[in-house]
Amino acid sequence: MKLKFIPQHDQMDCGPACIAMVASYFGKQIPLHFLKENANLSREGVSLLSISELCEDIGFETYPAKLTLQTLDENGSLPCILHWNKNHFVVLIDVKKSLISGKKRYKIADPSHGMIWMSEKDFLKSWLSDGENGIALFVSPTNSFYQQTFPEEDQLSISFAMKYFKEHKNKFLFLSGMLLIGSCLSLVFPFLTQTLIDKGVNTKDVDLITIILVSQVVLYLGSITIEILRNWLMLYIGTRISISIISDFLKKMLLLPMGFFDTKMKGDFTQRIQDNERIEDFLTSQSLMTFFSMVTFLVFFGVLWYYNVTIVLIYSSLTALSLVWAQYWLKKREILDYYRFREKGQSQESVYEILNGVSEMKLNQFEDYKRQEWEGIQNKLFKTTLRILKVDQYQFSGFEFLNQLKNIFVTFFAALQVVKGNMTIGELLAISYIIGQLNSPVNQMISFFRSLQDAKLSLSRLNEVQNHEEEEKEGMKALEVGNTYSKDEERGITLNNVSFQYEGPKSQFVLKDVNLFIPEGKVTAIVGASGSGKTTLMKLLLKFYNPTHGTIHYNEDDILTLSPKSIRENYGVVMQDGFIFSDTIERNIATSEVEINTRKMENAVRVANISSFIDNLPLGYSTKIGAAGNGISGGQKQRVLIARAVYKNPHFILFDEATSALDAENEKIIHDNLQEFFKGKTVIIVAHRLSTVKNADQIIVLKNGAVVEKGNHQELVNKKADYYSLVKNQLELGN
């Protein structure tokens, strides 16, 4: 049995990639995206426990162990998965002892680097976790593994990308016509060259020489004109296709559930967008150019056949050999492209972190460390680029050598024919011209194969996004608000035994058996210490995640049957990590409406008590804020976010520490303004401040993910339990 190497697509994919490689060794090809969906990935990657659980789910028996190298060598069954450098996973495939030196060498399949043979010293340096022992996961397949059927890899093909041609069909036809005319013009040149030498120079016919030279100038001008028009048209088509591809990618990406984004780094998405550019390059410049290069090649090949069949055979043999050589090195280049993708993603992520955290770095003297970390990534990227360059040089040098050898042999053979009187000098020059013209399509063919390879690799990375299940599914209902139910029972949001885990079934519960009712049209406050699960509960209500166990109902509707978009349309939300867009103040407030309602805007600004700040700005509501505009304070940011929620005028209001950055004066003004706005709305407030929660109709106290107390402020204070402990330092001020 042979292990198939499977590279990781993203920075956090090493665990699933290792499982896929081990499964391939035992004869099963399991799609990487299937393993990732079931591996409980987080942004920190995947734990050994999750890997072990996933291996058991697909039919392996697992044996995790912490052991010495001697035990691994003597008793370890291969292949096995190793914990590597304390933050990565690799597969140990083989251990061999050198016959000459007697030293052991270890063969590793590293999903981020490839197949590697390592010395014992280097192996121990990466594997040992405490100086003496390393961690390994041994697996053995059961009958269940062989009986299970796994989904097939639903790979995107080039046909997926070809659909973008349809919009520009007429322009492509026009472009094709110009390229065809250009090919026909090129066909005339060898015959003009032969006529110039044989009938013009040899017969000393100056008039004929002049006519031929003028004809060549006219033909060159025609070719240049066609080239200029072609370049303009290619730029237009290429740009439009690039915009369409990236726009469709972003559209699809934004339809995916929040869980998908939890396991991705910003750099991974940036690199995928750049992958779209490679697909556009293949669709436009490479595909069309190669097609018409092949037309030109066939035309000149026919003319060469007309001149001499033996020359055609010599040319064809050496051309085929050069193409085989180039194809061999393309396969070597494929895996290196995955490494470059990963390292470029890390590089971009590092730059984002430096730019976003520059103030904290300066405050904590962290600049040198982060800069050196970036340099380390660049050194890795340099090494990968060097490896790619080496492969490209081997490919190019061998190809060029065979190409020149072909030209020399053909020229030598043609020269012999001239010496023997079987060919004229004009025919020799015509053949030399044809050979020169044939080289260009062959070179274009190599570029096409490389571009095709890049496009396929890019499609394989886009595959995960394009084939991922969207959060909006057919048949989901819209959330109905208002008096749409005839039942007399109290309306609101009901949580029955709701539990939630971010990772696998054996990970820690963030929420555990939560039972509560949030009545419609009233204010519910949720309090608890940091890490008690308050924000997670809010995200469940917004359907960012589905409960691990239990149910959530909006009136009579199970949240799983409701459209996530319709739920969020009915919410005005201010989260702890609310985002300010790089846009004007008015557009940051009126995010969902194309036409801004002036009356609603003024009311939102009044309630959020931010009008004085806006009035003092030179451009007022048109002032740009966010990353591309004026920096604003934490309090100003929160007031903009509150104004955004008020402008929306939704049925549900959800405030998660919405006034934590405000001073006491502003908080009181906004609190008083909001009381009128809250009337008739279902309000959920997460806060620590007593002033924010004490007037709520009911207060829910969360502790370690469970509901420990319910009641109003006075009832809970009188109990002198968890709620009292949370707010006791504020009671004097509150009273």
Confirm whether 46 is domain-assigned: yes
Q: CB-based burial of residue 130 (10 Å sphere; 0-12 exposed, 13-18 middle, 19+ buried)?
A: exposed
Looking at the fold, whether 228 and 119 belong to one and the same domain comes out as no
Confirm whether 700 is domain-assigned: yes
Average pLDDT for residues 80-94, to the nearest whole number?
90
Looking from the CA of 28 toward its CB, the CA atoms found within 13 Å total: 24
Residue 491 has pLDDT above 70, yes or no: yes
Confirm whether 609 is domain-assigned: no
Split into its structural domains, the chain has a count of 3
pLDDT digits (tens, 9 = 90+) for 645-658: 999 999 999 998 88
Q: How many other C-beta atoms can be found within 10 angstroms of the C-beta atom of residue 432?
A: 17
Q: Which residue has the tokens 């004229």?
A: 424
Nearest CA among 55, 44, 57, 68 for reference residue 16: 55
pLDDT at 159: 66
Confirm whether 621 is domain-assigned: no
Looking at the fold, whether 537 and 434 belong to one and the same domain comes out as no
Residue 445 has pLDDT above 70, yes or no: yes
Strands (E), 12-113: 60-67, 80-84, 88-97, 104-110
CA 451 – CA 286 distance, rounded (Å): 7
Residues 6+ apart with CB under 8 A from 471: 255, 256, 257, 258, 543, 564
Looking at the fold, whether 138 and 212 belong to one and the same domain comes out as no
CATH of the domain at 40: 3.90.70.10
Looking at the fold, whether 180 and 126 belong to one and the same domain comes out as no
515-516-519 Cα angle (round to 5): 160
Helices 309-356 and 425-466, interaxial angle, to 10°? 40
Looking at the fold, whether 281 and 138 belong to one and the same domain comes out as no
Which tokens go with 487? 């039942």
Kindly report the length of the chain. Answer: 735
CA 413 – CA 135 distance, rounded (Å): 66
* Integer Rg of the chain from CA: 34
Distances (CA, A) of 676 to 635, 680, 681: 22, 9, 10
CA 20 – CA 14 distance, rounded (Å): 10
Instruction: Catalogue the long-range contacts made by 104-111 (C-beta closer than 8 Å, 24 or more residues apart).
Output: 104/73, 108/82, 109/3, 109/5, 109/18, 109/21, 109/79, 110/84, 111/6, 111/7, 111/8, 111/13, 111/14, 111/17, 111/18, 111/21
Confidence of residue 514 (pLDDT cuts 50, 70, 90): very high
Residue 494 has pLDDT above 90, yes or no: yes
pLDDT digits (tens, 9 = 90+) for 573-585: 998 778 888 888 8
Looking at the fold, whether 128 and 221 belong to one and the same domain comes out as no
- Helices and strands in the chain: count of H runs, count of E runs: 27, 18
pLDDT at 735: 45
Q: Let me know: does 17 contact 32? Beta carbons within 8 Å.
A: yes
Confirm whether 178 is domain-assigned: yes
Strands (E), 459-521: 492-500, 511-519
CATH of the domain at 361: 1.20.1560.10
Where is the domain boundary, 121, 147, 173?
147
Looking at the fold, whether 196 and 331 belong to one and the same domain comes out as yes
Pairing label, strands 706-711, 557-558: unpaired
pLDDT digits (tens, 9 = 90+) for 276-296: 777 777 776 666 667 767 777
Looking at the fold, whether 137 and 171 belong to one and the same domain comes out as no
171 SS3 class:
helix
Looking at the fold, whether 444 and 329 belong to one and the same domain comes out as yes
CATH of the domain at 674: 3.40.50.300
CA 633 – CA 620 distance, rounded (Å): 17
Where is the domain boundary, 410, 433, 467?
467
Looking at the fold, whether 135 and 186 belong to one and the same domain comes out as no
Confirm whether 574 is domain-assigned: yes
Confirm whether 676 is domain-assigned: yes
Per the DSSP assignment, residues forming a β-bridge with 652 are 571, 682
Which residue segment(s) compose the domain that 397 sits in? 158-467
135 SS3 class:
strand
pLDDT digits (tens, 9 = 90+) for 155-180: 656 666 667 777 777 777 777 777 77
CA 134 – CA 127 distance, rounded (Å): 6
Confirm whether 617 is domain-assigned: no
pLDDT at 334: 65
Where is the domain boundary, 125, 147, 169?
147
Strands (E), 313-399: none
Which tokens go with 703? 């502790």
Looking at the fold, whether 501 and 455 belong to one and the same domain comes out as no
Q: CB-based burial of residue 97 (10 Å sphere; 0-12 exposed, 13-18 middle, 19+ buried)?
A: exposed
Looking at the fold, whether 574 and 681 belong to one and the same domain comes out as yes
Picking from 149-153, 369-373, 584-588, which range would have the lowest pLDDT averaged per residue?
149-153
Confidence of residue 135 (pLDDT cuts 50, 70, 90): very high
Q: Is the pTM of this model over 0.75?
A: no
pLDDT digits (tens, 9 = 90+) for 603-658: 999 999 999 889 888 888 888 887 655 678 888 888 999 999 999 999 999 998 88
Nearest CA among 651, 639, 637, 317 for reference residue 484: 651
Residue 216 CA to chain centroid, in angstroms? Answer: 51
Strands (E), 377-500: 492-500
